[in-house]
Amino acid sequence: MFKGSNVALVTPFKNNKLDEDSYIKLIHFHIENGTSGLVPAGTTGESPTLSHDEHQRVIDLCVKESNGKLPIIAGTGSNSTAEAISLTTHAEKMGANAALIVTPYYNKPTQEGLYQHYKAINDKCGIPIIIYNIPGRSVIDMTVDTMARLNELKNIVGVKDATGDLNRVNQTLDKMGKEFIQLTGNDDNALEFNRRGGVGTISVTANIAPKLCSEFQKFSVINDKKSQLESERLNKILQPVHHSMFVESNPSPVKYAAKLLNLCDDDVRLPLVKVTNNTKEIIKKALQSAKLI
């Protein structure tokens, strides 16, 4: 169920309030354009600046509007274990298919602290949990050994790996086997990630290039020469777009790209700001190179 091109959905704002109409339009845009799964209220969805009610609302809307057409992996992480439990149990109640739970940021727990954090959430919910390991934002790095311990729990099923270390794919595969789901959080390394044993991505670029990302993912996991050549061709087209999405802090660039495609406005919440004019030009050129505009 959790494979292919899963989109890390942006959260559209208008006058600093949740723009529900644009959000619903985005959900249906992905249903119609080949996206494999929807990931609301993650980092790309600006979860750190969503109120608790807003966080729950974007998950509720996603579940309702997708109406079973696509799996929902709800972002329910927090550096407060109690809050993560609250968000996860709510997502489960509303019908989300899984929870994406980030390693606790700022607190800097030990590996034992990480284990106990996820175990506490695991023990209070009944849906699959995907660990989100992103040391660049959270400061801490969950080790493969800690993930292996967590994999023994009933709900821990996989990882969104945003370490950028492709060797981790092999190490995780060796330790936990093929059943442990490995999704990359780095669009730019998705080709090699899948070749080493990954099964997909949770993608920023998919917000604005769902068909390309979906086709790329489809071919990247087929082990024949024709499919591999096609995945390489699509990867080459997508690389400038991937790069442009991170010239400034995510999700400001992807929101500007979404504005160019008339999907939603490019409003972000402080402390994030809209991209500079120089970055706008980089994004425009990247979208043009991929024939998205």
Q: Which of 132, 218, 256, 280 is catalytic?
A: 132
Per-residue burial over 84-117, b if 16 or more Cβ lie within 10 Å, else e, is bbbbbbbbbebbbbbbbbbbbbeeebeeebbbeb
**CA 145 to each of CA 149, 198, 257: distance values in angstroms, whole numbers, following the listed order:** 6, 18, 39
Rounded to whole angstroms, the maximal C-alpha distance in the chain is 50
Tell me, what DSSP letter sits at residue 5?
E
**CA 119 to each of CA 95, 139, 270: distance values in angstroms, whole numbers, following the listed order:** 21, 20, 33
160 given a catalytic annotation = yes
Amino acid letter, 137:
R
115 given a catalytic annotation = no
Cβ atoms 208, 234 nearer than 8 A? no
Residue holding tokens 């929807």?
38
Q: Which of 3, 160, 259, 280 is catalytic?
A: 160
In the sheet with 73-75, reading across from the earlier edge strand, the strands are 37-39, 4-8, 200-203, 181-184, 156-161, 129-133, 98-102, 73-75
Helices 111-124 & 144-151, crossing angle to 10 degrees? Answer: 20
User: How many CB atoms lie under 10 A from the CB of residue 210?
Assistant: 21
Cβ atoms 36, 4 nearer than 8 A? yes
| Enzyme catalytic residues | 132, 160
